[in-house]
Amino acid sequence: MEITTNAIKELREMTGVSVMQCKKALEEAEGDSAKAHLILKKHSAASARGKADRMLAAGTIGSYVHDGNIGAMVLLSSETDFVAKNPEFGALARELAMQVAAMDPENTDVLLEQSSIKNESMTVRDLLNEATQKFGEHVEISRFARLSAR
């Protein structure tokens, strides 16, 4: 089956991974974008496992305050400041802070297994795996804190 550039573009916009990875996933899925998305999800988990031992030397802090009553900060770490300064990386850190504010996890392990508040079909671990694949670096939540005025 021939893979169209439009199909590659749509999958890339949905996942944020490279054009070549999208093309390979679509070829493997015989043009089925839903299957290709699952293939990329599996690849992102494998990629994250392969990069898990790399040194984290940079990062960014994402913060979120809800109605002045609940606040959260997340230190999202990466290998290089090139990734840490990426606007999409910063947006992920803010999204994770929003997750912490909304769900009040006990620790990082609990946070990683929670369903994402923006996409309930994914866990926070899935979000980090996708970020690892997208940025090509190990990405990890190093610390987080949540405060409540109540």
- Whether residue 71 has pLDDT greater than 90: yes
Count other C-beta atoms under 10 Å from residue 7's C-beta: 17
Other beta carbons within 10 Å of 89: 22
Residue 142's Cα: distance from chain center in Å?
A: 14
Give me 93's structure tokens.
């850190």
Residue 47 lies in domain: 5-51
Domain stops at, among 36, 51, 66: 51
| Cβ within 8 Å of residue 57, ≥6 positions away | 79, 80, 81
Using CA atoms, how far residue 139 sits from 56, 71, 78, in Å, is: 8, 23, 5
Taking the mean position of all CA atoms in its chain, how far away is CA 36? 18
Average pLDDT over the chain, rounded to an integer: 87
Q: What is the pLDDT of residue 1?
A: 66
* Backbone dihedral angles phi then psi of residue 27, each to the nearest 5 degrees: -65, -45
Write out the two tokens for 109: 């392990």
With a cut of 70, say whether residue 46 has pLDDT above it.
no
Same domain, 46 and 77: no
CATH number of the domain to which 37 belongs: 1.10.8.10
pLDDT band at 49 (very low <50, low <70, confident <90, very high): low
Q: Domains in the chain: how many in total?
A: 2
Q: Are residues 47 and 112 in the same domain?
A: no
Q: What CATH number does the domain containing 109 carry?
A: 3.30.479.20
For residue range 13-44, what is the model confidence (pLDDT) as tens digits? 777 777 888 888 888 888 888 888 777 777 76
Higher pLDDT, 43 or 48: 43
Question: Measured between alpha carbons, how far is residue 8 from residues 5, 18, 25 in Å?
Answer: 5, 10, 9
Residues 88-137 pLDDT 10s = 999 999 999 999 999 999 999 999 999 999 999 889 999 998 888 888 88
One domain for residues 62 and 128: yes
Kindly state whether residues 72 and 131 are assigned to the same domain.
yes
How much is the pLDDT for 133?
83
Which tokens belong to 4?
């169209």
